[in-house]
Amino acid sequence: MDIIKLTLDNGEEKEYIKGITLKEILDKEQENISDVVLAKYNGKIINNDFIFEKKGYLSLYNIDTNIGNKAYERGLIYLFEICIQEVMGNDTKIIVKHSIDRGIFCQINKEVKSEDITSIKKIMKQKVKKNSPFIKIETTKSEAIQYFKSIGREDKIKTLFYNTDNLVTLYKLEDSYNYFIGEMPLSTGVLKYFDLTIIKGKGIVLRFPSVYDNTKIIKYTHHDNYFNSLEEYTSWGQNLNINNIGDLNDFLTKNNAKDLIQLSEIMQDYKLLNIAEEIVLNKDFYKIILLSGPSSSGKTTTAMKLSLYLRSLGLNPTHLSIDDYFHEREETPMGEDGKPDYESLKAVDTKLFDNQINKILKGTKVTVPTFNFITGKKEYKRKIELKENDILIIEGLHALNENILTSIPKKNKYKIYVSPLTYLNIDNDNRISMTDLRLLRRIVRDNRTRGYSPTVTINNWDKVREGEEKYVFPYQDNANIIFNSSLAYELGTLRIYAEPLLYTIKENESEYETAQRLLELLKCSLPVSSEYIPKTSIIREFIGESYFE
């Protein structure tokens, strides 16, 4: 009896009989390794029927891993779409729109009733028990286009038309074929954790655990400002007949990219001007503008542009960053991993911050700190004194946290949540992850301003995301308004800058999988030159040549 050794990602070696299948390994190890969504052998994706003939490296991904979670999402969407059409009819149109509170919002072209939800969930659970495989099929692009023409999927035809590959991957589930960007789970059997929530008159939120939830389904909380901001930009796209990346590419081929850039910038500047006008109209109440949002949202440029608008309307803004109030580096608290936790509110000298802001608002001249990130210490050189028509703009990760500036009445604080809430999806089944969009921005900026390789940025991203989950997203509802910092054309511009960087990541590096996913996303959009992008644009914060640098 021949024995082979397989090495797991944690370095552990396991011995198995030669000829064993992946399914047999998973059944054998289910007490130690549960809910495996995706598997790789020597870096290649394998299915349940794969036979192991020789030693190698076996990687197993469950829903708590980034790779596994994204595959889980794609598989769950595919399963959901099949089931909803079984319940509500094949003429039911589903558009996968965007992430929203631990789930994905799916727009439905019919009224959805509570009994529909009950029936859909029942069929989904039946298909999970059936444990049907997601079958991967390689075909030519032209054959795939012909298939989608036969079933009237114009969105898929456009997606594939602009795909430069001659061969494409389709997936088969039961009697259905579809095109998804990225890998699918091993089978429907792993898709055990989900729930559905109706948003009346709009559609359904398909909910499932994130990598932070330990397979738990978190109770849905509807964020009105967040949702309405996305709906507003969706309406704007519909006015231009740009509903997805295929439509965007059509626009770019038929029009000048300059037109799209200017339309996008005008829309965004109009929203920021409205915010400035609201602040000026209530200047007797608002003494502080607090601005926050997740990493790479364009907070700095937004704050600077807002300052210009306020100045044009008669106010004199003074800018402060909460980052300048970091504790000295040796006083930084440690996280659970034993490393300094710069994301925590405890990393900020809140006592000094609150004390100085209160003094400034009373008209006292205060010497404020500037944090030296090289020495890890605060330096006191800048003096601030607010006079008539002066207003304070404070930007930072924790700016919306109710645990700062507690002595200042709520009516005197105007809070802005900034995030790139992209309304575009690739097609009706493939969404653009807002997190991926921010990561692309950060990769480009980190390389340009800090000389970081994309490997370093991707490697640090999980830590950044953990901080956002704890210290940013829970406070978004404290904002008076949400400012959408995404631009319709930006994926095409980021492609020019990010694509060469991502190609430097080699197959043997742990960041390779993320790099490949981002490359697949980038190639969906035609390139958009930065030639006509204004110097005041938010995207300039990342690609360079910003007016505010």
Q: What is the pLDDT of residues 326-357, one digit of tens each?
A: 999 888 888 877 888 888 899 999 999 999 99
Residue 138 burial (CB count, 10 A): 8
**Helix, strand, coil percent content, the chain, rounded in steps of 5:** 40, 20, 35
Rounded CA separation 315/283 (Å): 9
Mean pLDDT of the chain: 93
Residues of the chain with CATH 3.40.50.300: 225-543
Residue 318 burial (CB count, 10 A): 16
Token pair of 364 as six digits: 């006292």
Residues of the chain with CATH 3.10.20.30: 3-61
Residues of the chain with CATH 3.30.980.10: 67-224
Query: Is residue 202 a contact partner of residue 64, using CB atoms and an 8 Å limit?
Result: no
Token pair of 537 as six digits: 């644009």
Tens digits of per-residue pLDDT, 402-446?
Answer: 899 999 999 999 999 999 998 899 999 999 999 999 999 999 999
- Is residue 530 pLDDT above 80, yes or no? yes
Rounded CA separation 84/108 (Å): 10
Q: What is the CATH code for 225-543?
A: 3.40.50.300
Residue 347 has phi, psi (to 5 degrees) of: -75, -10
Query: Is residue 185 a contact partner of residue 72, using CB atoms and an 8 Å limit?
Result: yes
Residues with Cβ within 8 Å of 394's Cβ and at least 6 positions away in sequence, in order, are 288, 289, 290, 291, 320, 321, 322, 357
Residue 1's pLDDT is what? 64
Residue 223's pLDDT is what? 86
Kindly give the pairing relationship between strand 481-484 and strand 413-419.
parallel
Give the pLDDT mean for 513-539.
95
Query: Which pTM was predicted?
Result: 0.92
The reply to whether CATH 3.30.980.10 applies to domain 67-224 is: yes
Residue 549's pLDDT is what? 86
SS3 409: coil
Tens digits of per-residue pLDDT, 234-289?
Answer: 888 888 889 899 999 999 999 889 999 999 999 999 999 999 999 999 999 998 99
Query: Is residue 150 a contact partner of residue 174, using CB atoms and an 8 Å limit?
Result: no
Give the pLDDT mean for 23-29.
89
End-to-end, the C-alpha distance of the chain in Å comes to 68
Tens digits of per-residue pLDDT, 76-100?
Answer: 999 999 999 999 999 999 999 988 8
Return the bridge partners of 291, or none.
395, 416
**Can you list the alpha helix ranges (DSSP code H) found in 52-140?**
66-88, 114-130
Kindly give the pairing relationship between strand 366-372 and strand 377-384.
antiparallel
Question: By percentage, how much of the chain surpasses pLDDT 70?
Answer: 100
Rounded CA separation 279/288 (Å): 10
Residue 19 burial (CB count, 10 A): 12
The edge-to-edge listing of strands for the beta sheet with 36-41 is: 13-17, 3-8, 56-62, 36-41, 44-46
Residue 298's pLDDT is what? 95
Residue 75's pLDDT is what? 98
- Is residue 29 pLDDT above 90, yes or no? no
The CATH superfamily label for domain 3-61 reads: Beta-grasp domain (3.10.20.30)
- Is residue 31 pLDDT above 80, yes or no? no
Tens digits of per-residue pLDDT, 157-193?
Answer: 999 999 988 999 999 999 999 999 999 999 999 999 9
